[in-house]
Structure 1
Amino acid sequence: MSSTEPVPEPEPSRPWRPDDGPAPEVWAWPAGDRPALGVWSAGRWRYAPVLAKQEWPDGTIRYQVEVDLLGDTTITVRLYQWPQPGLRMAHGSRSAKPTRAFERDQAGSMPRRER
């Protein structure tokens, strides 16, 4: 994409459903040390702290972010598949790596939060 082409707004992803197959691995960072994305919305790059990273079994990566899409201070949670032209890295985390946010129970059913 050249610098003269408009940046398309990123397409949100739908959440995982059981009929998608195996659940994605979900990772999170400490609240005070989250990475952030830039999300192109309403003609501007919007700062979007990452709540979680999802690694789907098909190899795709999705990020769940908090973002003010219109610049009116209304925060919305969105899930975006990475990469897309309307997403960019704002900054990383100082944490060596995120921690697994969920683990599967012994039967492999609904994930539960680790303690």
Structure 2
Amino acid sequence: MSDSVPEPVEARPWRPDDGPPPHVWTWPRTDPPALLVWSHGRWRWATVTARQDRADGTIVYQVAVDLTGSTSVTTRLYAWPQPGLRVGHRSASEPSDRLPFGTSVPHAPPR
């Protein structure tokens, strides 16, 4: 059954011509949510590092994931929902859209 699951399509980073910047949410590093990403024939654990709520209504998750099982972790953006993504773990913590402690610049979308 899993062999018919398509690999998820990556979302492109937000650009100024997309409209207003996305509303960005993060979780405590000690309790992030996780997604399962279908890649190379297996479900791979992907730690969520941020959620972007874009002006067009699209929800995009930024994740850290090892797509091949090689222990090489990369950052990817995926629009939610799609068949190649599943909830892996829900955080017990509420997300925040506040600036991280000690910073004076708003969250910037991933580049």
TM-score by length of 2: 0.87
State the 1:22 CA deviation.
Answer: 0.4
| In 2, Cα distance between equivalents of 1:93 and 1:43 | 26
Correspondence for 2:22 among 10, 24, 32? 24
Gaps of 5+ in 1: 103-110
**Distance in structure 1 (CA, Å) of the matches to 2:16 and 2:92:** 34
Give the structure with the larger strand fraction. 1
1:64 corresponds in structure 2 to 62
Aligned AA (2:36): G
- Summarize deviations over 1:87-112 as a string: whole Å, max 9, x none: 000010011x200055xxxxxxxx62
Correspondence 1:112 to 2:106: yes
TM-score by length of 1: 0.84
For residue 30 of structure 2, give the secondary structure of its aligned residue in structure 1: helix
Higher RCO structure, 1 or 2 (CA under 8 Å, sep 6+): 2
Identity of aligned residues (%): 59
State how far apart, in whole Å, the 2-side matches of 1:80 and 1:43 are: 18
Count, aligned residues: 102
Structure of greater Rg: 1
CA drift of 1:58 comes to 1.1
